[in-house]
A and B are shown apart, each in its own frame.
Chain A
Amino acid sequence: MAESSQQHIDIHVEFSGGAELLFDKVKEHEVKLSHDNNPWTIRKLLVWIKENLLKERPELFVQEDTVRPGILILVNDADWELVGELEYEIQNKDRIIFISTLHGG
């Protein structure tokens, strides 16, 4: 009989490019996601971030069930578009970075 696996997964979440302003200017976050019946997808993480980390103006970070257009997401230094975007299943020790591009150049 298999032992139950870890109770949670640990991931590193970062906000930059101005996105950190929505999170009290804190860029780096160590996040513990507890297991439940559903796998932790980016879609689920976004909801979690909105409810637990976001400090202000949610409309600048999320749009409906996805991230606001203009905010890039990197999973382990790779474009989220390459790993399934919202459907990507987060693994233990993943590094997820949100970079806003919505500002002057």
Chain B
Amino acid sequence: MPVACRMCGGPAVLKRPKTGDAVCKDCFFYAFENEVNYTITNGNLFKRGDRVAVGASGGKDSTVLAYILKLLNERHDYGIELILLSVDEGITGYRDDSLETVKRNQHQYDLPLKIVSYEDLYGWTMDAIVKQIGLKNNCTFCGVFRRQALDRGAMLLKANKIATGHNADDIAETVLMNVLRGDIARLRRCTAITTGAEGGLPRCKPLKYTYEKEIVMYAYFKKLDYFSTECIYSPNAYRGHARTYLKDLERIRPSSIIDLIHSGESLSIKKDVKMPVQGTCTRCGYISSNAICKACTLLEGLNKGLPKLAIGKSNKSRRLLDAASQSSDSTNENTPPKEKKKDVTF
């Protein structure tokens, strides 16, 4: 005996994790689309005339994001321009396949597409970086480089805003991770729906309150084309642990995800907690809480054969950088590594 849709009484196809309601396909589309529209209008994410670069990886979140932004822009007349922006990190067997998907999305959704690559921006592909540093801390490099790559790509496109497909599960995981790591500065920032307005371009997360399960179901029922494989370097990532824990919690109490976000949003930091001050990088001008931004420091490490530079606490980075610069000339970022320094001990 089929369960009845909560909204219209028709045959239900999905049990919504957020509410526990059973809904049919059309009511699900209606609720899903309306909720994202509400998030966008309530959060003032866009204004008329905005040129928005949509971070597109070819994965489920960015495919649904591109589809739904286009749909809502037309339906509710946001008056914004949408451009797909893709980052090629140079991960063979992962990124090259998903980029093919973005190229298909470009045609399917009739949106322009720009691809920027780590190779062009930094002179290093992720494959080359992993060869240099091994299989640990890969995500640190990739994440830092990707943020800058998105900003630079968006600036090349003359966009004034970036939209990414981060979903509720992602943000809940991030809250958990930051609590586990004691990263108070990030904990305070990570639940903001729009970030980065001070340096770089403002970037927003229209899918912030959307459960991953619903994104997958929306893509399934709408037959949207997306690429789904884990990045080959991700099994070693710390986030995986937070994700596993969160998934187990979701099973017991599905609202955990949205509740975690709510906890993160409601946190206030005690007055006497030391917080980093945001300035700009003296080398590249990008937003940074240290004199030299993380990307520049990481690149310096790669180019000088100091793979552990900028992994871990920042005062160690500074000591290492000082030691390194005393014994070699200043280099520009694209110089290939000279003789590799021997094991640098911490």
Are A105 and B59 in touch, CB under 8 angstroms?
A: yes
Please give the residue numbers on chain B whose beta carbons come within 8 Å of chain A beta carbons, in ascending order: 2-3, 11-15, 22, 57, 59-62, 165-167, 170, 212-213, 215-217, 220, 228-231, 234, 243-244, 247-248, 250-251
CB-CB < 8 A to B170: which residues of A? Answer: 105
Residue on A with the closest CB to B12? A82
In the A-B complex, list the 10 residue pairs whose CB atoms are closest, starting with the nearest: A105-B61, A69-B247, A81-B15, A105-B59, A18-B228, A78-B13, A82-B3, A79-B14, A70-B247, A103-B230
Closest residue of chain A to B60, judged by CB?
A105
Interface on chain A toward B: helix, strand, loop, or mixed SS? Answer: loop
A 73-85 binary contact with B (CB < 8 Å = 1; else 0): 0100111011100
Determine the chain A residues whose CB is within 8 A of the CB of B57 once the complex forms: 104-105
Partner of A104, one of B12, B234, B251: B234
Residue A17 at the B interface, CB < 8 A?
Answer: yes
Q: Min CB distance, A72 to chain B, in Å?
A: 6
Q: Which residues of A contact B14 (CB under 8 A)?
A: 78-79, 82
Determine the interface band of chain A, counting residues with CB < 8 A from chain B: 20 to 34
A-B contact pairs, 6 of them (CB 8 A): A17-B216, A17-B228, A82-B2, A82-B3, A103-B229, A105-B166
Partner of B12 from the list A18, A69, A78 (CB cut-off 8 Å) is A78
Decide if B62 touches A101 in the complex (CB within 8 Å).
no
Tell me how far the C-beta of B303 lies from the nearest C-beta in chain A, rounded to whole angstroms.
Answer: 28
A interface residue numbers (CB < 8 A to B): 16-18, 21, 68-70, 72, 74, 77-79, 81-83, 99-105
In whole Å, how far is B256's beta carbon from the nearest beta carbon of chain A? 12
On chain A, the residues within 8 Å of B61 by CB distance are 105
Q: Which residues of A contact B11 (CB under 8 A)?
A: 78
Asked whether, in the complex, the Cβ of B213 is within 8 Å of the Cβ of A101, the reply is: yes
Bound complex: CA of A14 vs CA of B11, how far in Å? 22
Residue of B nearest to A105 (CB): B61
What's the minimum C-beta distance from B141 to chain A, rounded to whole angstroms? 16
Tell me which of A69, A79, A104 contacts B230 (CB under 8 A): A104
Across-interface contacts of A101 in B (CB, < 8 A): 60, 212-213, 216
Chain A's closest residue to B229 (CB) is A18
Minimum Cβ distance to chain A for residue B59 (Å): 4
Question: Which chain B residue lies CB-closest to A82?
Answer: B3
Contact indicator A69/B251 (Cβ below 8 Å): yes
Which A residue's beta carbon lies closest to that of B164? A105
- Determine whether the beta carbon of A100 is less than 8 Å from that of B228: yes
Q: Compute how far the CA of A101 lies from the CA of B213 in the bound complex, rounded to whole angstroms.
A: 7
Report A-chain residues with C-beta under 8 Å of the C-beta of B212: 101, 105
Q: How far is the CA of A73 from the CA of B204 in the complex (A)?
A: 31
